[in-house]
Structure 1
Amino acid sequence: MALLATLVIAIFGFMLIGVPIAFAIIAGSIVAILLFVPGANLMIVPQQVYGGLDSFTLLAIPCFLLAGSLMTAGGLTDRLLAFTNTVLGRFRGGLAMSNVFAATVFAGISGSAVADTSALGRVLIPAMKREGYGPAFSAAVTASSNVLAPIIPPSIAFIVMGVLTNQSITRLFLAGVIIGLVYGLAMLVITAIIAQIRQYPVHGKASAKEIWTSFRGAIWALMMPVFIIFGIRTGIFNVTECSAIAVVYALFVGTVVYRELTLKGIYQALAETARLTAVIMIVVGAARIFSWILGYAGLPQQIANAILMVTDSPWVFLILLNILLLIVGMFMEANAALIMLVPVLFPIALQLGLDPIHVSVVIVVNLCIGLITPPVGLCLNLTSLIARVPLEQSTREVLPFLGFALLVLALLTFVPGLATWFPNLLLG
């Protein structure tokens, strides 16, 4: 356990002095190797980092990110919002509810909460402020809605989870569908309640012609999530092939159908994708050396034995797991937390007889909630910047959404079928 303590202290020590998380993991791992692995050759570090990235499955991450960026640059966001506004504008707080609905659809395109928050927030938050919504509320509802991105397929978090645990990514994708829709419904409900209490504006009922016109404009965007799920369910292509085809689809829609995707837009989409991919991939690579050290020292089994001495109840373990992840999610980005915790916690869950798909979804959903919990809360920080409002004000406004998110997490924890029913139905 001295190795684990040294490793954790070293990693967090590097993070406290401003070292990025991926490099903090690598540097902390080097410290642990030098102190606890006699005669170790430090060439093991680049070898393990390379091995962590040497995966065909990981190619899906940049492709899904690029598909989302291309769809945004090609006019997807405006058409999608026009459609949601015509459908939901008749209700009080319709624009805020459109925010949630648009985030749900957009989640089925890119798989990245930060990318979706940036794309939708830059359009929706100014629009909501013009309609009389408070800037802090606009930031809160936008951040809370886009937590869906890593849950509904295609999900980068589930790709990382699948690589870490050697599970079927197709099954993990399908496991996120139902709970993602439940989360989206919960956000719609709390948005409607707040809108009614505060008497937010109503746009009036759109005509059937207006709804049909906006639907025709958004149909190509709405079909993308259906296309992804249908493709991987039928086995026409695997997840990685699906991501590449999604890029071709986005290029076709942006250049031929919408005719808004320019060379400049393509360049900007490629640049944004490269930046996001680099951030994710270096963390995934760093995870490999971290996992190697844990395995070398036999730490997962030691920790499992210690926990099993305290409790052998799977339900108690799930409660403790949720508490731990909620605390970690307040301070650490989701993918980094996955990489540090899954190699330790996942084997314990399996020893207790928990369903691996259920546990995986609980872990991902829990860490995604961290995207709206201060002080890190990446999505909440981003929307606060866009809305030009202090984080403290956004934090107060996000509390009702956070409460409903925790209710969804509790439901998922104690009703495993929310995660396992859909993949079992389609894949057996």
Structure 2
Amino acid sequence: MTTIFFSLLGILLASSAPLFIALAGTVVIIIWLDGMMPMAIVIERMFSGIDSFALMAIPFFVLTGNVMGVGGLSRRIIRFADLIVGRLTGGLGITAVSSSMFFGAISGSSPATVVAVGGILYPALKTAGYRPPFSIGLIIASGSLGIIIPPSIVMIVYAAVTGVSVGALFMAGIGAGLVYGLVFILYAVFHAWRHDVPRSPAPSWAEIWEGLKDASWGLGVPIVILGGIYGGVFTPTEAAAVSVIYALFVSAVIYREKTIAELFAAVRDSAATTAQIMIILAAAAVLAWYLTSTGLAVAIADGILSLSQNPIHLFMLINVTVLIVGMFLDAASIMVILGPLLYKVGLQVGIDPIHLGVVLTVNGAIGMFTPPFGLNLFVASSLGDVTYEQAVRGALPFIALAILALAVVTYVPEISMQLPRTLYPGI
């Protein structure tokens, strides 16, 4: 039956069936063939898989990102970032990365970051003298910061399936996200220097001050979210709800660039995105339950540990495995399927669950722009004249750079663990 199970799963995934059908459908067929359990257990497990208080934060963070995206926030953040660093060599490239960090701290979504930042900066990068493959590659890769910089939807999923602290994961994501983004910034500076890209004129202090005032309300979103969580005012899920109210207030009262029709469109898009995430999580929960209840999860874990119990070697194996899986599955699905399994393996060899969660998140971020099914590659086609093939060519150098950043985050744990250990002494 095990052979049939993995054969069915492989066939459904290879046939381009919707991911939730491939995950839950395989279990349904196996239960039907085996006849030992009632089929209703699949529905029960799907419901229990998403019946989590932590997961309630996902629709709120998605809605916050969409509301602020149509409310003029992305344009203001990009303008302010350009005022600060645009005068430097590679300034517009640095602006793309730093803007992605800011917007990622609002939306928690990689594709949303690509659209919000890329829609403005991709044409600007080409006009400024950056080569088109570099420009689209930088936008696609920087967009993946959206799931590393807190608040991260992927980290919320990992916390839900393993029971670790969401707040500690968010803090760990700050250090990892800064290192990940720094690698892209250095490459942007090198590219601009090598190809003699002209610098932007230096702004006056008055222009910088005006840009800061214009963007300050939007930049307050991550302050409200993270400050509220670590100040003990509310939980991460409550912070997500508060961020929606704040985003609506800023967009409707302060910036006043949103119409009722755009608001309803943002709500509709958020509902669709949430539904897509939740049905995949529910299906993945069924698969995870089957692997656990049949003992396959233990067998797989024992097989991994039989290869090596050295954390260094084990992390290398984990990274290679998740990078390959990330070519076909999105980061949230990876967390639900592999998160509990690797969590147990990591505990047995002394790997900190928070550090493991960050490493898996960075792996998932790389998968967002790794062919053949990296979502950011497809989202890039909405930026205008970009084809899938052009997106892949532009992304390849950044995949290598991201893997370098992954190695640093993996084997220098203090980068991600320093803040959590400071704020959470028990870790």
Query: Normalised by the size of structure 2, how large is the TM-score?
Result: 0.96
- 1:384 positional shift: 4.4
Does residue 351 of structure 2 align to residue 354 of structure 1? yes
Deviates more, 1:19-28 or 1:334-343: 334-343
Alignment partner for residue 137 of structure 1, among 124, 127, 134? 134
CA distance in 2, matches of 1:281, 1:234: 29
Alignment partner for residue 106 of structure 1, among 94, 103, 120? 103
| Aligned equivalent of 1:306 | 303
Deviations 1:133-154 (A, max 9, x none): 3332221111111111111111
CA distance in 2, matches of 1:284, 1:332: 12
| Aligned equivalent of 2:275 | 278
| Aligned equivalent of 2:29 | 31
SS at match of 2:309: coil
- Which amino acid in structure 2 is aligned with residue 9 of structure 1? S
Does residue 22 of structure 2 align to residue 18 of structure 1? no
- 1:259 positional shift: 1.3
SS at match of 2:36: coil
| Aligned equivalent of 1:162 | 159
- 1:73 positional shift: 1.3
Deviations 1:308-358 (A, max 9, x none): 222221211111111111111122221122222223322111111111111
- Which amino acid in structure 1 is aligned with residue 130 of structure 2? Y
- Which amino acid in structure 1 is aligned with residue 249 of structure 2? F
Does residue 205 of structure 2 align to residue 208 of structure 1? yes
- Which amino acid in structure 2 is aligned with residue 124 of structure 1? L
| Aligned equivalent of 1:78 | 75
CA distance in 2, matches of 1:47, 1:261: 41
Unaligned ranges ≥5, structure 1? none
Deviates more, 1:288-297 or 1:337-346: 337-346
Counterpart contact for 1:91–1:204, Cα < 8 Å: no
- 1:102 positional shift: 0.5
CA distance in 2, matches of 1:90, 1:120: 19
Alignment partner for residue 334 of structure 1, among 331, 341, 352? 331
- Which amino acid in structure 1 is aligned with residue 113 of structure 2? D
Counterpart contact for 1:135–1:387, Cα < 8 Å: no
Counterpart contact for 2:172–2:419, Cα < 8 Å: yes
Counterpart contact for 2:130–2:192, Cα < 8 Å: no
- Which amino acid in structure 2 is aligned with residue 88 of structure 1? V
CA distance in 1, matches of 2:254, 2:193: 39
Q: Percent identity?
A: 38
Query: Normalised by the size of structure 1, how large is the TM-score?
Result: 0.95
CA distance in 2, matches of 1:7, 1:335: 22
| Aligned equivalent of 2:320 | 323
- 1:130 positional shift: 3.3
- 1:59 positional shift: 1.1
Does residue 49 of structure 2 align to residue 52 of structure 1? yes
Deviations 1:192-229 (A, max 9, x none): 11111112232211111111111110111222112211
- 1:258 positional shift: 0.9
Measured on the aligned residues, the alpha-carbon RMSD in Å equals: 1.6
Deviates more, 1:404-413 or 1:341-350: 341-350
| Aligned equivalent of 2:419 | 422
CA distance in 2, matches of 1:134, 1:268: 34
CA distance in 1, matches of 2:60, 2:291: 31
Alignment of 1:385-400 (within 5 A): 385-400=382-397
- 1:387 positional shift: 4.2
- 1:71 positional shift: 0.8
Alignment of 1:288-299 (within 5 A): 288-299=285-296
CA distance in 2, matches of 1:263, 1:392: 38
CA distance in 2, matches of 1:369, 1:234: 32
Unaligned ranges ≥5, structure 2? none
Deviations 1:74-125 (A, max 9, x none): 1101111111121122123322221111101111101010111122222222
CA distance in 2, matches of 1:6, 1:314: 33
| Aligned equivalent of 1:383 | 380
- 1:418 positional shift: 1.7
- Which amino acid in structure 2 is aligned with residue 19 of structure 1? A
CA distance in 2, matches of 1:331, 1:287: 14
Deviates more, 1:244-253 or 1:412-421: 412-421
| Aligned equivalent of 1:244 | 241
- Which amino acid in structure 2 is aligned with residue 25 of structure 1? L
SS at match of 1:205: coil
SS at match of 2:106: coil
Counterpart contact for 1:125–1:387, Cα < 8 Å: no
- 1:385 positional shift: 4.6
SS at match of 1:153: coil
- Which amino acid in structure 2 is aligned with residue 203 of structure 1? S
CA shift in 2, pair 1:73/1:385, >3 Å: closer
